[in-house]
Amino acid sequence: MPLLITYLTSYFYVGTLWLFHHDYFTHVKRTTTALNILNLILSFTATLINYSMSLVAMALRTLNHADMQVAFIVYDIVALLISLSYWLIYHYLSTHPQLTDHGITSPTQRIDPLISGLIYGSSILVSWLNVWIAGVLLLLGIVFHFIAYLRMRLPAMH
């Protein structure tokens, strides 16, 4: 059961990241070497989800406190790297508006990766006190990504 739960959570997270990436990059008119490298870094960080979620699945199977703490921290670090990667892409494209349709990166959207980073950073700190609350924060970070995607997408849906 832990493997199935972590797989579904991982799929939801990767799916949300793909939705962000797909919808966002439809507004990119042309790329540069720097943008391609940033995109490659983002892709790499997303592939790390599988590893971190397998650690979470193994830790949840045994319910070993130390294993759970390490697994949640590793996952949080991966999520922080993903958030940082998105922030770098948003920042790069906001400083190179000639590469995109106008206004694809709103000020709110540019701080979303910082907010998610704060959630994951909090989860790391909380994991030293209570791993279950850290796990909930980790899940809240994933849900936040989906809500941020919907918020980005809503203006385009009208």
Q: What is the mean pLDDT of each run of 10 residues along the chain (158 residues)?
A: 88 92 86 95 95 93 95 96 93 88 67 91 96 96 90 65
Burial status of residue 84 (CB atoms within 10 A of its CB: 0-12, 13-18, 19 or more): middle
Tell me if 16 sits within 8 A of 150, measured CB to CB.
Answer: no
pTM: 0.89
Query: What is the pLDDT at residue 104?
Result: 64
